[in-house]
Structure 1
């Protein structure tokens, strides 16, 4: 016979929503709130659904590259992450904002993407 705590956990699991069943547009909206650096560096590594959404060019029409305040001590290669984001945009890039890193030469290819 199952204990009361086991039965309670099973009921809670049955009642919990399956977050992977959310529509892609809603999931993309949630992921965008993380910030572009965190999406590229962390979120796309969580599961195949997040990786698929993170590779969608619609996610990268607007790129805002900056290090989140809580991650200042982390060594991010922002130039490489920015190039990756521009590549993922597949020519749909509308706006890009870069904060405190890189040179004009680093991002010259951003101007040539069609």
Structure 2
């Protein structure tokens, strides 16, 4: 997965990059068909915002989160993203199994 991190009014520190990378490893554990991720970190007066656009096969998933602390915003963002990725994975999976049209004769 290609990871791009941008900061608006914010210097992206190596600790912040490591925190984002470790959190996104959880997403790859659930869904391994991630093409790339673009993270946008923004500081506005009191509010810290984090946005991510995740490109997966067949779709783009965009999630936003805001908090007073950037690390809290990232944690909230990854929780939301995790739920969205699981929803996307369930939609993509083929749920059409073979139906039992005629049960075997030896069953009661």
> Shorter-chain TM-score category?
under 0.3
TM-score of the superposed pair, with normalisation by structure 2: 0.24
Q: Which structure is higher in strand share?
A: 2
